[in-house]
Chains A and B, each alone.
Chain A
Amino acid sequence: MKGFLKRDYYLMSGNLKFYALFMACFGILAVFTDFNTSFFALYVLLFGISSVLGLFSYDDFNHWTAYGSAVPSGRMAMVDARYLFTLLVAVGMTVMQILLGLLGGEGAQLSMAAVYGGVFFLYAAIALPVSYHFGGAKSRTVMIVLVALMAGVVGMGGSILNIASATRGLRLPPMTSLLPLVGLAALALSWRVSLGIVGRKEL
C-alpha cells in the first residue's frame, strides 16, 4: 500500500505550489480585509476534492489500475491507499481551514471545519466508488450532479453558521457537529464497496 500511497502523493504534489499560492493570497486577504473566511474555506474544500478525484484521471490515462492489479494484492492495496490518501487530504484541509479562520481573527472556526470535513467525507464516500466503477472520465457526469447537491448542502451549512453568528444565542444543531463522524462512517462503508468493485472489475 505504501507504494500506491506515495504515487498518489507524488501526483498531487505537482499542485502543491499552486495550492500554497492560493493559501498565501487567502491568508493575506483574511488578515488585511474583512472578507468572510468561510468563502476561502469552500475553496479549500474544492481543492481537497479535486486532489483526490483528479487521481482517477491519471489512473485512466496511464492504465494504471490494470498495471497495479498485476502486483501481488495490488487491487486491494490501490483502494486502501486511495482511501488513506483521502483521509490525509481531509486532515490537511481541516488544518488549512482552521489556520485561515485564525488569520481572519474569527477564532478556530471548528464548527465550520466540521461541516466542510463532513461534506468532504460524504462526497468522497459517494464519488470514490462511482469513480472506481465508471472510471475517471465517465464518472464526471455523476460528479456534476454531486457537486450541485453538495453546493446546496454547503450553502445550507453556511446559512446556519451565519444565523448562529448573527443571533449568538443559537447553537448549531448536534447533527452538524456529528457530520464528520457520519461522513467517516459513510467513507468506511464506501471503502468496502470500492474494494468489492475493484476486486470484481475487469481492468
Chain B
Amino acid sequence: MEYAAKLDHLTKDFGSFKLDDVSISIPGGTILGLIGENGAGKSTAIKCLLGILKPTGGSVELLEGEGLAGVGYVPDECPFSDQLRVKQVGSFCAGMFSGWEDALFTHYLEKFELPAQKKVKELSRGMKMKLSIAVALSHKPKLLVLDEATSGLDPVVRDEILDEFLSFLSDEDHAILISSHITSDLEKICDYVTYLHKGRVTISGAKDELLSKYGKLSCSKADLAQVDPALIVGKREGDYGCQALINDREEFRRACPDLSLDPPTLEDLMIYTTRGDRT
C-alpha cells in the first residue's frame, strides 16, 4: 500500500470558517500527525476524509479505493452511551464492522483492563478512550484515524495509548492519522507532521526533516535586529532577551555565523508560526 489516505486540494467552506486547499498524503506504514490550535480545522479535515462532512471542493481517497471498510475511527469523545455495558458495545459493534473479531475485542479489554460488565458511565475518561480504541482495533483496520484521542488524558494513560499505536504499525499495510494539539505526543510517535493554521496547511513534511530545517534562536534584541526578517517565522521579545523561530537553519548559519540555534520542538513550530501570523 503506497498511500493509506490522500486529501487532494480539499476545501470545506462553512462561511465563518474555511478549510482551504488542504492536501495531505499518508504513506503506508507511517504515522501522520495533524497539529494545530483549537479550531484550526483538524477535525473538519478528518470528518471530510471519513465522509462525515461533505467537502466543498477537492477529493479524498481512502486505502486506494477500499474506502471506510478498512478504517478504524476514534473520535475525541466516546461515542458509546453511558448506560451501555462494555460487553454490549462489543456485541453491537460486531454487527457493524465486517472484519470484527470477538476474540480480539476480548484481548483488548483484558489488555486495557476494561471490565466487560461495567457500564460506560462507570468508566473514567481514559478508560472510555481505551474502549473506543479497542473497538477501532477489533475489526482489524488498515488505517487508524484518531481525532484528539489523547486530549484530556493523564500522561500515564497517554503513554500507554501511544505505545499501542506504535505496535499497531507492525507492517506497511497499516497507517495512522492522528490529530492533536498536544504536540509532545506527536513528537514521540509521528513520522510526518502537517500543521494546520486557520484552515490552511502552514507546515508539512517529515517530522525529522522539519525539526532539522527549523531552528530556535535565543539572543539579544540587537542580535535579532541583524537577522534577515525573511528567515524569521515568529518571535518573542522580552526585557532580557528575545527568542525567534528560524525557517532555514543552513541559510541562517551562512548569514549569522556568530549566532547559534537550538533544535525546535513541534510546539515551537506551532507557537511561533501563530505569533508570526499575528505580527
B-binding residues in A (CB < 8 A): 1-7, 10-11, 14, 58, 61-64, 66-72, 74, 77, 200, 202-203
Contacts and interface: CB of A to CB of B under 8 A. Distances in A.
A193 to B, nearest CB: 19
Nearest 8 interchain pairs by C-beta = A3-B95, A3-B96, A2-B95, A67-B79, A6-B92, A70-B50, A7-B92, A70-B73
Contacts of B98: 72
A63 B148 CA distance: 15
* A-side interface mostly: helix
A66 B52 contact: yes
B67 A63 contact: no
Contact of B51 (A14, A61, A62, A69): A69
Question: Residue among A10, A68, A70, A74 with the most chain B CB within 10 A?
Answer: A70
Contacts of A69: 50-52
B97 A71 contact: yes
Contact of A11 (B50, B77, B84): B84
Interface of B: 47, 50-54, 67-69, 71, 73, 75, 77-81, 83-85, 88, 91-98
Given A4-B95, A63-B77, A67-B75, 5 more contacts: A11-B84, A70-B51, A72-B67, A202-B52, A203-B52
A14 B84 CA distance: 9
A66 B80 CA distance: 12
Contacts of B69: 72
Contacts of B75: 63, 66-67
A67 B73 contact: yes
Contacts of B92: 3-4, 6-7, 10
Contacts of A2: 95-96
A74 B91 CA distance: 17
B91 A6 contact: yes
A12 B53 CA distance: 29
